[in-house]
Amino acid sequence: MSTSTSAGASENDGPAGGPGGGGGRSAQLKHTGLRSGWTTGACATAATTAAYTALLTGDFPDPVTITLPKGQTPAFALAAEELTDAYAMAGIVKDAGDDPDVTHGALVRATVRRLPAGAGVVFRAGAGVGTVTRPGLPLEVGEPAINPVPRQLMREHVAQVAAAHGGTGDVEITVSVDHGEEIARSTWNPRLGILGGLSILGTTGIVVPYSCSAWIDSIRRGVDVARAAGRTHVAGCTGSTSERTVTSLYGLPEDALLDMGDFAGAVLKYVRRHPVDRLTICGGFAKLSKLAAGHLDLHSARSQVDKGFLADLARRGGADEELARRVAAANTGLAALQLCAAAGVPLGDLVAGTARDQALDVLRGAPVTVDVVCVDRAGTVVGRSEPRGPQQV
């Protein structure tokens, strides 16, 4: 058995480790001057890659390089490693950059064991990683709280290591986070029924830092750039998944995309003073249900999904009292959406239309036509409004 500990991480795709130049989301990040970081999913993938490499070759790559969904190739120094005949373990210290992330500095470990040929990749929750106990999340009840994109990223890297070093790619991956159960008490996991620790998260692998004042200022600069370029249609997106969806729907150029994050109000108030012909708001169903309910700051610390409000919308869409009761008692917004979809109630469209009307109220008659698109975690459209301008309110 060998053990060692070290610390630190490096990167080879730019000073911030995030997107490069250009307009839209990447330009906003550059404008803030804030340093981006790495998600728990990226750290778990790096740890898995190092551990499986050591299991097959006897040596840990240090630093270990991975490829993120958008092509960035960060390298991570190992903070812990252990190798036996039965398993290999590697650990990465999470660096969240300048984001006030509760998991910054946490040690994310992956322990990899061989499985019989044909078993595939099996995920386990180790100490400090939660288990799903309620429906309404993108994972089945009983599954470790390792989200779909990090799982796919780990599978891809396991396959690459297997191809390079003669493995079968059939492994059990146990992800753990030191002190994760304690850290999780500062998150919404317990309320969502994710018990025992943290979730392993991330759709891009990159933590985009949010300083409220810096990010709101970057939104304003994004609108200015779009207007200067002659763009008549811009889109405010809550993240990279919604950005991909709105690009697919409308073919907008990068400098017409605004990464509004949680700051829907900042987009609407600035566009009110500096109008464009059309504004599309695209984001996750749960976040946009908050906008529909009248919240302009969509951050989970400052606004929550109101299931009673969703139940009222469902009634408007034809839900009977039993379905409305179940919607009001749902664990998450996604669970409420799924209940309504099964009953043929268009809750997604109702949320999108109500969010559009709230946006028009904030615009106060500015000459802007607005439409809203709600997506799920995979970017599938689950709700959509018709475009509407101030003259149609």
Same domain, 227 and 327: yes
pLDDT of residue 262: 86
pLDDT band at 20 (very low <50, low <70, confident <90, very high): very low
274 close to 227: Cβ distance less than 8 angstroms:
yes
pLDDT tens per residue, range 270-284: 999 999 999 999 999
**Stretch 52-67: mean pLDDT, rounded?**
97
Same domain, 216 and 203: no
pLDDT of residue 207: 74
pLDDT of residue 189: 84
Q: State the residue for tokens 């058995």.
A: 1
**Between residues 300 and 39, the one the model is more confident about:** 39
Helices (H), the chain: 24-32, 40-57, 148-165, 180-184, 189-192, 212-228, 240-250, 264-273, 285-292, 307-316, 321-328, 333-342, 347-363
| CATH for 68 | 3.30.2110.10
Question: Is the pLDDT at 226 greater than 70, yes or no?
Answer: yes
Helices (H), 185-252: 189-192, 212-228, 240-250
Q: Which domain-ending residue is among 183, 207, 231?
A: 207
**Between residues 317 and 32, the one the model is more confident about:** 317
pLDDT tens per residue, range 76-112: 999 999 999 999 999 999 998 766 678 889 999 999 9
**Stretch 207-235: mean pLDDT, rounded?**
79
Same domain, 299 and 278: yes
Question: Is the pLDDT at 390 greater than 60, yes or no?
Answer: yes
Residues in Cβ contact with 383 at an 8 Å cutoff, skipping those fewer than 6 apart:
285, 288, 346, 347, 348, 349, 350, 351, 352, 372, 373, 374
Question: Is the pLDDT at 22 greater than 50, yes or no?
Answer: no
How far is it, in rounded angstroms, from Cα 248 to Cα 77? 37
371 close to 277: Cβ distance less than 8 angstroms:
no
Mean of pLDDT over the chain: 87
Same domain, 303 and 380: yes
pLDDT band at 212 (very low <50, low <70, confident <90, very high): low
Same domain, 132 and 217: no
pLDDT tens per residue, range 187-202: 878 867 899 999 998 8
How far is it, in rounded angstroms, from Cα 109 to Cα 98? 22
Same domain, 189 and 236: no
CA angle, corner 74, sides to 69 and 80, nearest 5? 115
Same domain, 310 and 169: no
pLDDT tens per residue, range 311-324: 999 999 999 999 99
Same domain, 186 and 258: no
284 close to 373: Cβ distance less than 8 angstroms:
no
Same domain, 17 and 87: yes
Helices (H), 33-141: 40-57
Same domain, 139 and 188: yes
Q: Which domain-ending residue is among 176, 207, 238?
A: 207
Q: How many separate domains does the chain show?
A: 2
Same domain, 309 and 185: no
How far is it, in rounded angstroms, from Cα 368 to Cα 275? 6
Q: Which domain-ending residue is among 147, 174, 207?
A: 207
How far is it, in rounded angstroms, from Cα 360 to Cα 157? 46
pTM: 0.61
Question: Is the pLDDT at 337 greater than 80, yes or no?
Answer: yes
pLDDT of residue 1: 39
Neighbours of 2 (CB within 10 A): 12
The domain in which residue 35 lies consists of: 2-207
